[in-house]
Structure formats: C-alpha cells, structure tokens
Amino acid sequence: MSFDTLGLNAELLRAVADQGYSEPTPIQRQAIPAILRGGDLLAGAQTGTGKTAGFTLPLLQRLTDNPVADGRRPIRALVLTPTRELAAQVAESVGTYGRHLPLKYAVVFGGVGINPQIKQLRSGVDILVATPGRLLDHVSQKTLDLSRVEILVLDEADRMLDMGFIRDIRKILALLPRNRQNLLFSATFSDEIKKLADDLLNSPAMIEVARRNTAAELVSQRVHPVDRERKRELLSYLIGSQNWRQVLVFTRTKHGANRLAQQLERDGISSAAIHGNKSQGARTRALADFKQGAVRVLVATDIAARGLDIDQLPHVVNFELPNVPEDYVHRIGRTGRAGNEGEAISLVCVDERSLLRDIERLLKRELPKQIIDGYEPDPSIKPEPINKGRGARGNGNANAGGNGRQGNKAVPASHRRDANARKGRSGGGQPGRGKSAAAPGTGKHSAQGKSRWRKAAQG
C-alpha cells in the first residue's frame, strides 16, 4: 500500500514524497482513513512507528477541505503533548507536512518567554501544539480562544496521566466546544487511559497495531551485569571499544544525569545532559548538538523517553533501569524507529535484579545476558534498596510541560499549583542513592583492564 491510496490530497502527498516516504506504516495505514472519516479515534502503537504523521496528515487535510467561511483564522485544531520536546517535534511535523498548504501553526510550552508566543497567537493560527501548563497560562492571560476548536489530539496521553496532568486536561476540555473530533494517541492502553477514553470519546474507532507494552521488534536488547560502581567505567569502555558515535543514555534522576555527563567528559567522551531542571534553551542546544554529532553521548532522564525523534539513532543505554517497567519500553523505543535497526543495552547491578524481572515479565521473555570480560560482577556485594515509589518515575519530568523557573522570574500561579500537584506524586526529583562510579586506577582493576579502559574511552 502507498500513501496515494489513503485519500490524501496532492499537496500532502508531495510533502510526504519530499521526505522520501513511499509506504505508510501500519498505524498510518489504519489511522489516516479513520481520521479522514471524521469520527473519534483511540489509537495505540509502540513508540517509533510513525504515530505523529498518522494524525498530522489527516488533520491537515480535514482543515484544508473545510476552510473557515468568515475568512478569520481561529484555532481550529489543538494538539496537547506532555513535554516540550514532544511539542516541538509535533510542531515540526505540522510544518513539514503542511508546507504546501495555506495553514498556519504555532507551538507554546514553558521554559521560554511567553511574549513571542502571544505575538504569534495574535497574528492568527489554525493549528496550536501545546503543553497543558503553558496553554492554561495563555488562557489565564486571555491571549487565545479555544471556542472554535474542531479537532483535539491528545498525544502520549498515558504520559500526561503519569505526569499528573489530568486536572489540566479536564480544565482545557471545559473550554472546548462540545461538537468536535477527538483523537487519543497512546503508546500503552492502561486502565486509566481506557477510563479517559470512555469520558472523552464518542463511539471511537479503535486501533492497536502492536501487542500492549511490547518493545520494537527491530531493537536488539542485551543486559550486561556489572557492579554498581563500575557502570561508568564499563559504559566508557563500550562506547570507545565499539566506536559508538551517537548514544542516548538513561539515568533515573536529574542529579545522576548531570554527574554521569561530567564523568564521561572527564573520560574524553563528549557528553551533554538533558532533564527537567535544564532551561529550554539548554535542552534545545543539547539535543541539536547530539543530532548534529557535536556531542557523542546524550544523558537523559525519562523526560526524553518520549518526544525525542532522532533519525537512525543506533544505541540506547539504560545506565540505570527505570522503576516502572513500561518506561523501559519507551526508552528503548528511541532506537529502531521507522524501520531502522537499533541496539538497547542495559547495565544492571545487583540492586536492580527485581527491576529487571519486572521488565522481563512485562515483555514476556527473558533478556539475553552477557558479562564483559574484566567487568565480572563481584558476588560478595550486597544489594542496596532502590526507591520504587511512583515518585521515582517523575524525577526528570515534574516541569517538563510547564514553565519552570527562569532565574528570578515568577512562575504563574496556575503552573505553581499544577507543579506542586505533580511534585506530590513525583517526589520532586531527589537524587538517587548510587555512589559515583569508580575512577580508573581505583578499586579492583587489573593493570590490563586499566589500560584497555583508557584506550577504549578515547575511541
């Protein structure tokens, strides 16, 4: 099947061809015709399957086929996302696929100044991509009108619920016209998502193109058992000895991400960290440097598990396993995208054995284990407890979609309330318990191992 058979107009087909795409993915084959028919949709697909284009293309077509009669340019489509990065990615897709259409779009999220956004909104936009916190800031300042929205998209709806945005979502829904098309996209179908769908959607078409909570089939997964204090050393060795040029590494906490990026820099490996405490400018620069190859390693919290669209990303490393097994699926879904192969490596210490069992139970299979010579785990080391409360899930995310603090600037009251509510669930980003990884030349390393480590780390 080609895109020509899905009912898209010539301008959209031209934009798709400009990107070098000829065949739609499974989610696109099913979602595009369903959305073009005008009904509500509940769609689930594992990450990296082309979900964004699956709703962007038909959304653009429906707005084009039904122009506003009075010649004004009200907000006619609203796309809500949980994080700034995902909002930027969706907006980029709208711009890419709508480049030959007379439609205007804008993206609003926190962490950046609100005045340029106000100026753009006042000029009129057809499509608005937004994070909930910043959208409500605009609502409170009366800088936008949602009364003429025809299409609502909730992207990564499960993540929005995880991050405590349900109250924000309900406030936003109350501002929208009752008669509209609702599209709910989610990587997983939890019970909470099904309840939201029951409340929001009207006789929706339902699409699920992969088994619930499955990992991408093209991602090769492997576990390297290692002592907790030798993880950093093993990571540097793997990057250097295998000449990995682009690696996305996940930690549990913001503090841990900063620390690991600094340690890798000292090992001679160019690195940057990205998480919720970074300013939006710093996050944008780090991601751009990583995509362009100026930075070899991007160390991230789970804020980056969704919303980062990196073409042909070859390697994802779980420096620390996530506390929630579903987050493992989202993390490794950053590689193996759009039909490309990828590799997901997990460095697992004795503390994380129960987390690994939870992940394998979710995947319904055991992950292959490989002990690297010279990095054999010490069986005498006792496990230390890991905080497995829901709070650990939100360590990188508390302010992902809102405003955050910018120097001494005040945070809008609406965001303070919502951020505090999210912190109540997420623990506010406490650093992890793990100790800093041992530096080369310390601990139980052989002379041969030290020499190999230094050589490999330099690549």
- pLDDT single digits (tens) 192-204: 888 889 989 999 9
Helix (H), strand (E) at residue 356: helix 353-363
Looking at the structure, do residues 143 and 240 belong to the same domain, yes or no?
Answer: no
Q: Does residue 38 lie in a domain region?
A: yes
Adjacent-strand bridge partners of 321: none
Q: What is the CATH number of the domain that holds 285?
A: 3.40.50.300
**What's the length of the chain?**
459
Q: How many helices (H) and strands (E) does the chain have?
A: 16, 13
Is pLDDT at 442 greater than 80 in this prediction?
Answer: no
pLDDT for residue 217: 64
Residue 289 tokens read as 């440097």
Looking at the structure, do residues 29 and 143 belong to the same domain, yes or no?
Answer: yes
Q: Do the Cβ atoms of 42 and 204 come closer than 8 Å?
A: yes
Question: Domain total for the chain?
Answer: 2
Q: Considering only residues 214 and 238, tell me which one the structure prediction assigns the higher pLDDT.
A: 238
Strand, helix or coil at 334? coil
**Interatomic CA distance for residues 351 and 394, integer angstroms:** 20
Q: Does residue 403 lie in a domain region?
A: no
Looking at the structure, do residues 187 and 233 belong to the same domain, yes or no?
Answer: no
Q: Does residue 406 lie in a domain region?
A: no
- The single-letter code of the amino acid at 229 is E
pLDDT for residue 432: 36
Last residue of a domain, one of 176, 208, 240: 208
Domain span holding position 350: 219-395+430-457
Last residue of a domain, one of 208, 227, 262: 208
Looking at the structure, do residues 229 and 292 belong to the same domain, yes or no?
Answer: yes
pLDDT for residue 425: 36
- H helices within 123-253, ranges in order? 132-140, 157-162, 166-173, 191-200, 231-241
Q: Does residue 418 lie in a domain region?
A: no
Which of 67-71, 122-126, 183-187, 435-439 is the most confident on average? 122-126
Query: Per residue in 295-346, pLDDT tens?
Result: 999 999 886 555 566 767 889 999 999 988 888 888 887 776 655 678 999 9
Positive or negative: CA dihedral 183, 394, 210, 335: positive
Q: Does residue 419 lie in a domain region?
A: no
pLDDT for residue 255: 92
Residue with tokens 């709070």: 391
pLDDT for residue 426: 35
Sorting pLDDT into bands at 50, 70 and 90, what band is 427? very low
By the 10 Å C-beta count (0-12 exposed, 13-18 middle, 19+ buried), 454 is classed as middle
Looking at the structure, do residues 59 and 91 belong to the same domain, yes or no?
Answer: yes
Q: Do the Cβ atoms of 234 and 226 come closer than 8 Å?
A: yes
Q: Does residue 193 lie in a domain region?
A: yes
| Threshold 0.85, pTM exceeds | no
Looking at the structure, do residues 202 and 223 belong to the same domain, yes or no?
Answer: no
Looking at the structure, do residues 229 and 98 belong to the same domain, yes or no?
Answer: no
To the nearest whole number, what is the mean pLDDT of the chain?
Answer: 82
Sorting pLDDT into bands at 50, 70 and 90, what band is 275? confident
Query: Per residue in 5-56, pLDDT tens?
Result: 999 999 999 999 998 888 898 899 999 999 999 999 999 876 667 889 999 9
Q: Is 16 left (phi over 0), alpha (psi -120 to 50) or beta?
A: alpha
Looking at the structure, do residues 329 and 189 belong to the same domain, yes or no?
Answer: no
Looking at the structure, do residues 197 and 247 belong to the same domain, yes or no?
Answer: no
**Interatomic CA distance for residues 313 and 393, integer angstroms:** 24
Looking at the structure, do residues 169 and 304 belong to the same domain, yes or no?
Answer: no
Last residue of a domain, one of 158, 175, 208: 208
Is pLDDT at 264 greater than 90 in this prediction?
Answer: yes
Rounded to the nearest 5°, which phi and psi values hold at 139? -60, -45
Looking at the structure, do residues 233 and 362 belong to the same domain, yes or no?
Answer: yes
Is pLDDT at 98 greater than 90 in this prediction?
Answer: yes
Sorting pLDDT into bands at 50, 70 and 90, what band is 355? very high
**Interatomic CA distance for residues 336 and 34, integer angstroms:** 26
**Interatomic CA distance for residues 442 and 455, integer angstroms:** 17
Q: Does residue 156 lie in a domain region?
A: yes
Is pLDDT at 410 greater than 50 in this prediction?
Answer: no
Looking at the structure, do residues 245 and 264 belong to the same domain, yes or no?
Answer: yes
Sorting pLDDT into bands at 50, 70 and 90, what band is 251? very high
**Interatomic CA distance for residues 305 and 295, integer angstroms:** 18
Q: Does residue 190 lie in a domain region?
A: yes
